[in-house]
Amino acid sequence: MPSTAVPCANRYFALVPCAGVGERAGLDVPKQYAPIGSRSMVAHTLAALAQVSRLQATLVVLAPGDRDFVRHAPGFDGEGAWVAHCGGLSRAQTVINGLGELSRRGAVASDWVLVHDAARCLLRAAWVDRLIDACAADPVGGLLALPLADTLKQARGNRVMHTLSRADKWAAQTPQMFRLGLLQQALAKSGAGVTDEASAVEAGGHAPLLVPGELENFKLTWPSDLVLAATLLQAREAVPMEGAQQ
């Protein structure tokens, strides 16, 4: 007799690696806790993710000894606001540990996980929804990214050695969205050296989908980035994007 079971609907979880120290930002606090306007960087990030109605939960992965998160993200609470002190020594290990924590909390291999940098704090919920819409039926998953507009130079020290073609080149952003099981396997094989989830998935022979992102979704890395982010957030509050979720 044929089965009448109804396939499980897609479930979506966000995972925010938040265990780094952000040395390049030149701050006396971990970068994710730096103030941008009236809130910390990570608080802005989590506020945007909270506006994505399809997310089952958001897991923030902290360093084992982190006792500052609660103070810097006071609005992160409720049934779908999860925290785990299981960060690793690299981003990849932090994500691997976070995926394990999601599994312990009931996520299964077929669930989608959207990994997002805490330092991309200008995120808008509409961009996350765009990624989900594009990838929900995709066999691999994908990531927000931007086609490169600048001319690329290959350097040795501070001297140009070659000019590289920018054709077919994209700058990767986050979130990056893959099935939990696929991502666990990919990261386990790739090791701690990978700098984003898509590269681990690529190493397994898959071709992630590139979903057009936004220039504002940049990763805050240098001190000047924090100034720019504060200026953009101030402008956003003065003239909100029509129809955007804040």
Q: Which residues contact 101 (CB under 8 A, 6 or more apart)?
A: 59, 61, 82, 84, 86
Question: Domain holding 106: CATH number?
Answer: 3.90.550.10
Q: Identify whether 245 is part of a domain.
A: no
Q: Cα 138 vs. chain centroid, distance in angstroms?
A: 19
Q: What is the pLDDT of residue 7?
A: 43
The total number of structural domains that make up the chain: 1
24 domain-assigned: yes
Flag whether 161 is in a domain. Answer: no
Supply the pLDDT for residue 1: 37
**Residue stretches of the chain with pLDDT short of 70:** 1-8, 21-28, 240-246
Q: Rounded CA gap, 214 and 229, in Å? A: 14
Specify whether the CB–CB gap between 94 and 192 falls below 8 A.
no
The boundaries of the domain holding residue 58 are 12-142+174-207+218-238
> Backbone phi, then psi, for 211, in 5-degree steps?
-115, 120
The answer to the question of residue 158 being in a domain is no
Q: What is the pLDDT of residue 243?
A: 45
- pLDDT score recorded for residue 241: 55
Each residue's pLDDT tens digit, 37-72: 999 999 999 999 999 999 999 999 999 999 999 999
Give me the pLDDT at residue 62, please: 97
Could you tell me if residue 133 is inside a domain? yes
> In this structure, is residue 184 part of a structural domain?
yes
Query: The whole model's pTM is what?
Result: 0.90
Determine, yes or no, domain membership for 131.
yes
Task: Report if residue 163 sits inside a domain.
Answer: no
By C-alpha distance, which of 222, 138, 149 is closest to 176?
138
